[in-house]
Amino acid sequence: MGPGQKDFRIAKAVLLLHEKPACSLPELARSCGVSPSRLSHLFKNQNGFSVKRYRRNFRFHLALKMLALTDMPIKEIGYNLGYHHTSSFVRAFKFQLGLSPTAYRRRQRAKAA
């Protein structure tokens, strides 16, 4: 593949992640017809960062929107984004922002009021 050319498998992986943020690397790879290690390699070569990092950042941005714009329970938001335990979601969110999902939601609601 020459410079500037995009791999259709990477575009498909990104599209799948946008449709189903909870999709795992093995699921993505299977859908794209490659092994997880091959998908990881292709993704990093094309984008400069890993599938894991892209997925984490995408899910984080979705969480921000869902917390600010919906009344959905935090547990449900975490589950919809692929976290099996609320504590995992809270820990990942806090790592990214330095605030818990509850504190972020309160801050957003205070700004809107």
- The CATH number assigned to the domain with range 52-113 reads 1.10.10.60
Measured CA to CA, the distance from residue 39 to residue 49 in angstroms comes to: 12
Whether 4 has a pLDDT exceeding 80, the answer reads no
* Average pLDDT for 95-107: 96
- The CATH number assigned to the domain with range 1-48 reads 1.10.10
pLDDT at 62 (0 to 100): 96
pLDDT at 112 (0 to 100): 84
17 contacts 55 by C-beta, under 8 angstroms: yes
pTM: 0.85
pLDDT at 5 (0 to 100): 66
| 106, two tokens | 């309160």
Per-residue pLDDT tens digits for 6-45: 899 999 999 999 999 989 999 999 999 999 999 999 999 9
pLDDT at 98 (0 to 100): 96
pLDDT at 3 (0 to 100): 53
* Average pLDDT for 72-97: 95
Residues of the chain with CATH 1.10.10.60: 52-113
Measured CA to CA, the distance from residue 82 to residue 72 in angstroms comes to: 15
The helix (run of H) or strand (run of E) holding residue 13 is helix 8-19
Whether 1 has a pLDDT exceeding 60, the answer reads no
Per-residue pLDDT tens digits for 44-76: 999 999 999 999 999 999 999 999 999 999 999
